[in-house]
Structure 1
């Protein structure tokens, strides 16, 4: 008898060397983020939104599909329009990819992580530039804190797992479609060591 599948495993795609090479491209990562954030779209719609040519977005969407990140969304299409949707809500990165024997995989891993960091910076900058457009309640509910702790690698790993468990627990609290003040929120976590000298 098969083990029941954890619902989170269906939402999160674990990157391996092959799928990482298919994703680690700035435009592909941007396309996937747009589909996750805004829902299904055509290559032309994504091109207009991202300031790219529809030929480029179409090509990179097909590459994402070949690696299992996006798929057709025929329920949205009319006529010859090809609509795309994200397959998963997110990806899980394995640090072992940074130590892979293949230099192409290591390079893709490095590019992927730098693109994630660039996206986080862009999202925070956008929030700071548009926070005045949001209600006072949302301005009070936002946070851009940073903390410095003295931890061992084991304690840092425990902290990461605890934060992830806490964040995951809030999925069960997500209000339904009828909550007028509910918005999608982005939560970034970064845990890394720094030298003090």
Structure 2
């Protein structure tokens, strides 16, 4: 999830976060819960509580707040009165900067949400690189890849590349993805980051 200053027309299911929705999400536990549902598929408040070290009461409360804004929903025909199952609707979440640039409170909420998501990505990558290679089946070790590319871009070139890469990745994701619970499938996280380095200095 990254800010899109000039978003392309959204696909069905895509959603731009702004206003009350953005403020509601600006809580580290809510971002964690949204991430868990994105990564692992439907979960209960109890199972998510175990993952994040919180009580099921706390996760239930925050899930209900996310549901109020349509960020998560109950799974139909699953669970009971005592144990609800939750899922995240498909589609990308886009942080709008057009509104937040004019409203200091929204600007801060956008910064907090983005920071929490980025922190989650960094922790997932760090956990993978720190794990014992022998603990991962050989076919999964062979399938994984970490890659960094460096280049010079003008702003319009970087914007065009990001747009093209997003369209390509979305198309290929739908071609190859499995449903949760499919034989041989496990959660996988894809990263593609393209941004200007902040410590750059013009050469004299």
Query: What TM-score do the two structures reach when normalised by structure 2?
Result: 0.81
Check 1:25–1:46 CA distance in 2 against 1; reply closer, same or farther (3 A cut).
same
Check 1:98–1:193 CA distance in 2 against 1; reply closer, same or farther (3 A cut).
farther
Report what 1:115 is aligned to: 116
Report what 1:152 is aligned to: 154
Distance 1:14 1:125 in 2: 29
Report what 1:69 is aligned to: 71
1:31 aligns with 2:26: no
For residues 48-101 of structure 1, the C-alpha deviation after alignment (integer angstroms, 9 at most, x for no partner) is: 2210122211111111011111112242213432222212343112232441x3
Q: 1:185 aligns with which of 178, 188, 203?
A: 188
Check 1:123–1:89 CA distance in 2 against 1; reply closer, same or farther (3 A cut).
farther
Question: How far did 1:146 drift?
Answer: 1.6
Number of aligned pairs? 190
Report what 2:200 is aligned to: 196
Check 1:176–1:104 CA distance in 2 against 1; reply closer, same or farther (3 A cut).
closer
Check 1:175–1:148 CA distance in 2 against 1; reply closer, same or farther (3 A cut).
closer
Q: 2:138 aligns with which of 136, 139, 143?
A: 136
SS in 1 for 2:73: strand
Out of 21-30 and 187-196, give the one that drifted further: 187-196
Question: How far did 1:131 drift?
Answer: 5.7
Out of 47-56 and 156-165, give the one that drifted further: 47-56
Question: How far did 1:187 drift?
Answer: 1.4
Give unmatched runs, 5+ long, in structure 1: 1-5
2:26/2:110 contact within 8 Å kept: yes
Query: What TM-score do the two structures reach when normalised by structure 1?
Result: 0.84
Out of 174-183 and 26-35, give the one that drifted further: 174-183
Distance 1:182 1:48 in 2: 22
Q: CA RMSD in A?
A: 2.5
SS in 1 for 2:77: helix
Report what 2:61 is aligned to: 59
SS in 1 for 2:190: coil
SS in 2 for 1:125: helix
2:72/2:89 contact within 8 Å kept: yes
2:15/2:92 contact within 8 Å kept: yes
Give unmatched runs, 5+ long, in structure 2: 1-8
Question: Going by fraction, where is helix more abundant, 1 or 2?
Answer: 1
